[in-house]
Amino acid sequence: MVDVVEPLISLISSFSYLGIFIAAFVETIFPPIPSEIIFPLAGFVSFKSNYSYFQVFLMSIAGALGSTIGAILIYFLSYKVGRVAVLKVGKYFLINENKVKKSEDWFEHYGVYAVFLGRLAPGIREIISVPAGIAKMDLTKFIVFTFAGSLTWSTFLVFLGYAFGNSWNSLSGALSDLFPIISAVVVLCVGIVVVIYLMKRRRKKK
């Protein structure tokens, strides 16, 4: 963990908004460095730099933009080359058949909302762009849902890191144990809202 954390702190401290943008972009196309570490670190750096709440939110936006641009890159790759080629290239970025199948099931279950929900789910968020690209999802909708999901995720994590401040070491340890549970609860809550919305929409059409 330390081997990853120190360079990230240096990057974000040195380049601020550009630093978190770069880190989020790289994390999206190269998953081994998780956003669960990157975004709270941005909050920690913001705390150390005495940033205002508005500046912390700008850090969240910069991170969301980095994630979104990385996701668009994966979307276009998937759109152009298809599933087989994605799997061949993806093995160099730790993307395998299992992960792609999981994201495809997610996309099939939630439809276009899968992109928004997927950005909130660890293990899905990094590759939800793949089935969206293969299915040739409308680009405008893809960008809107991707940015909305990425901003929700980054804002939550950046402000969490900011709130913990000097307790970063405790936070990083707790995150590794609790984040799967927290993420599942967040996705479940958002999923319920989406289902209720869709049910109401169908009733109105009838």
How high is the pLDDT of residue 56? Answer: 93
Q: Which two tokens stand for residue 205?
A: 């059409």
- Give the number of other Cβ atoms within 10 Å of residue 94's Cβ: 12
Which of helix, strand or coil describes residue 198?
helix
How far, CA to CA in Å, does 13 sit from each of 3, 47, 131? 16, 11, 35
Termini Cα distance of the chain: 54
Taking the C-alpha atoms of residue 91 and residue 175, their distance in angstroms, rounded to an integer, is: 27
Per-residue pLDDT tens digits of the chain, which is 206 residues long: 445 667 777 888 888 899 999 989 988 877 666 777 788 888 988 998 899 999 999 999 999 999 999 999 888 888 877 666 666 665 555 566 666 676 777 677 777 777 888 787 776 777 788 888 888 888 998 999 999 999 999 998 899 888 887 665 555 555 555 455 555 555 555 555 555 555 665 666 55
How high is the pLDDT of residue 2? Answer: 46
Which of helix, strand or coil describes residue 136?
coil
How high is the pLDDT of residue 18? Answer: 93
Task: Check residue 110 and give left, alpha or beta (phi > 0: left; psi -120 to 50: alpha).
Answer: alpha
- CA 34 to mean position of chain CA atoms: 9
DSSP 121: S
Taking the C-alpha atoms of residue 149 and residue 152, their distance in angstroms, rounded to an integer, is: 5
Residue that is written with structure tokens 């330390």 in the block: 2
Tell me the HSE value of 180 on the side-chain side, using a 13 A CA sphere. Answer: 3
Taking the C-alpha atoms of residue 42 and residue 23, their distance in angstroms, rounded to an integer, is: 10
